Amino acid sequence: MIKSRLELLNKSSESCEGISLLDSEEKNFPDRLILSKLEILLLKNCNVQGTCFLGMRELKVLSLTVAYDYTGVISLYALSSLKKLRALHLENFEDFSFLGNLRTLEILSLRGSKLNGLADELGSLKDLKMLDLTDCVVSSSFPLNFIRRLSQLEELYLPKSNMTNDIFLVIKFLTRLTRLYLCVSSLHFPPNFEFPELEIYKIYINNNTSFNGIFGATGYLEIAEVFPYNAVSQLLGNLESLQVKRIKDECVKCLTNKTQEKVSVSTILQNLKLVRIDDCRNLKVVFQMGEVEENEGPQCPLLSNLKILHLE
């Protein structure tokens, strides 16, 4: 059931398995309905009393979104009684004291929320497979070590803040990780650190102001100041968008001449859709195409998928 106005909810709604009320008006969710079959509930700018969840024993997916200036009341203490709850999306929230009790969660998104003092609660959610902290407000002292305890994580989306080398030590423990969104500031990477083989990733190194990339790119890498061959070599197999600027290291004269042991140059050149190189004074060759051996026999011409090339 998708309703444009809350007042359309009535006795006939009690048999619904899914309810979506995503209009922007502030409203009160009715506490009188017994939604015993409800599995999916999506609400926006909606005042919710905790007792209404007591009649939602089958609820598996809950999304609550509020505006930044929202002044309503949302009580979530009763969520701990929902034994089947697997996915929770809370956007622009501040109070998460109840989170530590939601041990059945597998998917958690806290987009745009304030995370101060939340590390212990998040670290207790051992079954999490996806954690989305995109656009969250975090302090420089926010501890990341709790992520190491989330050994089942397959997808991790971190806030776009100045994270340090600590995050590399955390990622090293996430052996199941397949998707990663990361923005980090670091000129020196831990010895022998390598990103895991990821299916989908968007990684910014020393660059908070992004250029426009290819929409929906599987592999997106944006680097400034350094080019950490060893750390990123595992990512190049499905790299589609590469943006590099201000590399001043005199040793960096070609972007692929140290990566061939992990990924062949021909593989890199077949998948690329966007390449942007800015202000790299010592870079003589972008890709060493002459080193691609004839016996590798690429099935499609090199750079045949390239849509955008920017050299400055």
Q: Looking at the structure, tell me whether residues 123 and 217 fall in a common domain.
A: no
Residue ranges of alpha helices (H) inside the chain are 119-123, 166-171, 229-232, 265-271
Report pLDDT for 259: 61
Domain tally, the chain:
3
pLDDT per residue over 175-199, tens digit each? Answer: 999 999 998 888 888 888 889 889 9
CA distance 192 to 25: 52
The residue segments making up the domain with residue 22 are 15-79
Q: Looking at the structure, tell me whether residues 298 and 277 fall in a common domain.
A: yes
Q: Looking at the structure, tell me whether residues 73 and 143 fall in a common domain.
A: no
Q: Looking at the structure, tell me whether residues 200 and 311 fall in a common domain.
A: yes
Q: Do the domain assignments include residue 36? A: yes
Q: Looking at the structure, tell me whether residues 102 and 174 fall in a common domain.
A: yes
pLDDT per residue over 265-277, tens digit each? Answer: 788 888 899 999 9
Of 117, 149, 181, which closes a domain? 181
Q: Looking at the structure, tell me whether residues 291 and 220 fall in a common domain.
A: yes
Q: Looking at the structure, tell me whether residues 310 and 200 fall in a common domain.
A: yes
CB within 8 Å of 90: residues ≥ 6 apart: 63, 64, 65, 96, 109, 110, 113
Only one residue has tokens 């045949």, namely 304
Where is 107: in which H helix or E strand? strand 107-109
Report pLDDT for 84: 95
The reported pTM is 0.88
Q: Do the domain assignments include residue 7? A: no
Of 181, 211, 242, which closes a domain? 181
Q: Looking at the structure, tell me whether residues 68 and 110 fall in a common domain.
A: no
CA distance 9 to 11: 7
Q: Looking at the structure, tell me whether residues 147 and 223 fall in a common domain.
A: no
CA 304 to mean position of chain CA atoms: 29
Report pLDDT for 208: 63
Q: Do the domain assignments include residue 259? A: yes
Is the pLDDT at 284 greater than 60? The verdict is yes
pLDDT per residue over 22-71, tens digit each? Answer: 888 888 888 777 888 999 999 998 888 888 888 899 999 999 998 877 77
Q: Do the domain assignments include residue 187? A: no
Of 79, 102, 119, which closes a domain? 79
Q: Do the domain assignments include residue 5? A: no
Segment 90-106 mean pLDDT: 88
- Please report, for residues 210, 249, 252, 278, the alpha-carbon distance to residue 246 in angstroms, rounded to integers and kept in the order given: 14, 9, 11, 6
Report pLDDT for 295: 47
CATH number, position 131: 3.80.10.10
Is the pLDDT at 224 greater than 70? The verdict is yes
Report pLDDT for 33: 78
Q: Do the domain assignments include residue 8? A: no
Q: Looking at the structure, tell me whether residues 43 and 100 fall in a common domain.
A: no
Q: Do the domain assignments include residue 3? A: no
pLDDT per residue over 204-220, tens digit each? Answer: 998 765 545 555 678 99
- Name the average pLDDT for the chain: 84
Report pLDDT for 62: 96
Q: Looking at the structure, tell me whether residues 22 and 104 fall in a common domain.
A: no
Q: Do the domain assignments include residue 37? A: yes
Q: Looking at the structure, tell me whether residues 260 and 304 fall in a common domain.
A: yes
Segment 148-164 mean pLDDT: 86
Segment 243-267 mean pLDDT: 78
Counting residues of the chain whose pLDDT is more than 90, the rounded percentage is: 34
